[in-house]
Structure 1
Amino acid sequence: MRRIIGGLFMTVDGVMQAPGAPDEDRSGGFAYGGWAAGYSDEQTGVFIAEQIQGAEYDLLLGRRTYDIFADYWPRHLASPIGERFDRITKYVVTSDPDTLGWRGSQPLVGNPAETVAALRSGDGPDLLIQGSSQLYPPLFSAGLVDRIFLTVMPVILGAGKRVLTGDAAAATGMRLVDHRVSETGVVMSVYERDGPVRTGDFTT
């Protein structure tokens, strides 16, 4: 079985929308695109590089992120990340499978939880989600995400897509396996699934 690993840039109030550039995703009138770039530093870069260069994986992407990556990374093959992203398989949840032009792209058509569950149950390297905020609600609801690495920036936006809130996710305990704080206040954490939620009673 393959693990599904989610890489999330988030604000303190849980916003994930458009961390990398002003025009990345302006849906809903979002005006703060590029908020992660404003707080990243060398320590943050080292952490991200470790997560996305330290093991073999294939990419699992939603269509919006796929289109952004397909436009950017083939023009940056000299970078280690660009070379890897271009080389590996890109699984794309999409309703328009005939328009995937980036080499190594494989469409996943149909119910996202069902198609991803079938992919996860097979053989192959782990599956890394980058961006792709619309993938998380169905995958968390189905209990399919095995590991997440969170990069929380010291900013509150008050508006934007928040995919880790609400009651859609299946309840599960998580285990902290890595944790760092950068000089600019970026909190970086890695969690893995750790069985049922443990409850208790402080009064006893």
Structure 2
Amino acid sequence: MRKLIVSTFLTLDGVMQAPGGPGEDDDGGFAHGGWSVNYWDELMGQVMGAAMTKPFDLVLGRRTYDIFAAHWPRATEEDGAKPLNDATKYVASRSRPALDWRNSVLIEGDAADGVAALKQEDGPELQVHGSGNLIQTLLRPNLVDEFRLWVFPVVLGSGKRLFSEGTVPAGLKLVDSKVSTTGVVIGTYEPAGEVVTGSFALD
């Protein structure tokens, strides 16, 4: 059985939209594309590099697939392109797009059912990058086994959020954390069952 891992850049107020550059995703008039770029440091590069050194496949929504496919096939090995180009890319789309990036496969039918079936197969871990709409589809049936959340010290006030309206309440357990010199908190979380409530009220 394969693990499904969501790796996401987030602002402090939970926005994940267009971290990589202007025009990456301007849905809803989003005007802050590229908000993550100036926070990058050596530690973050090391953490990202370590995540790319072991075998993985990708699960991507259509928009993120198009963004990646426009960049990584033209990038060099020095830029870290080889692991992404070599990985199998499983793509969720309501249409039947031409998937020209090498090793790309359309997820047939319902995306959640398709990903659940992929998890049952033998193979490397499944990583989800970006793909905000797809992540919402995967959260509802609890298909995510691990969250790698990169929380940047910036607030935007608007934009697509990782945990949006309709998110199923759940507890998480922090299993690893690092902090960059620029204040980016990189946390790895695993599901920890239902939310447990309590009270500070005096008896």
Shift of 1:99: 0.5
What's the CA shift string for 1:43-81, capped at 9, x where partnerless?
222222222x24221011001111111110011132363
Distance 1:142 1:192, change over 3 A: same
Corresponding residue for 1:131? 130
Q: Does 1:197 align with 2:195?
A: yes
How far apart in 2 are the matches of 1:78 and 1:180? 26
Question: Does the aligned pair in 1 maintain the 2:147–2:188 contact within 8 Å?
Answer: yes
Corresponding residue for 1:30? 30
Corresponding residue for 1:77? 76
Corresponding residue for 2:147? 148
Pairing 1:93-104 to 2, within 5 Å after superposition: 93-104=92-103
What amino acid maps onto 2:182 in structure 1? Answer: T
Corresponding residue for 2:91? 92
Corresponding residue for 2:170? 172
What amino acid maps onto 1:42 in structure 2? Answer: E
SS of the aligned residue for 1:84 comes to: helix
Question: Does the aligned pair in 2 maintain the 1:8–1:149 contact within 8 Å?
Answer: yes
Corresponding residue for 1:46? 46
Tell me the percent identity: 46
How far apart in 2 are the matches of 1:80 and 1:196? 41
Distance 1:92 1:200, change over 3 A: same
| Runs of 4+, deviation exceeding 6 Å | none
SS of the aligned residue for 2:13 comes to: coil
How far apart in 1 are the matches of 2:153 and 2:34? 13
Mark the runs of 5 or more structure 1 residues left unpaired by the alignment: none
Distance 1:118 1:185, change over 3 A: same
What amino acid maps onto 1:82 in structure 2? Answer: A
How far apart in 2 are the matches of 1:154 and 1:61? 26
Corresponding residue for 2:59? 60
Number of aligned residue pairs: 202
What amino acid maps onto 2:155 in structure 1? Answer: I
**TM-score normalised over the length of structure 1:** 0.92
Question: Does the aligned pair in 2 maintain the 1:97–1:109 contact within 8 Å?
Answer: no
What amino acid maps onto 1:163 in structure 2? Answer: L
**TM-score normalised over the length of structure 2:** 0.92
Q: Does 1:5 align with 2:9?
A: no
Mark the runs of 5 or more structure 2 residues left unpaired by the alignment: none
Shift of 1:93: 0.4
RMSD: 1.6
SS of the aligned residue for 1:97 comes to: coil
What amino acid maps onto 2:199 in structure 1? Answer: D
SS of the aligned residue for 2:150 comes to: strand
What amino acid maps onto 1:156 in structure 2? Answer: V
SS of the aligned residue for 2:38 comes to: coil
SS of the aligned residue for 1:99 comes to: coil
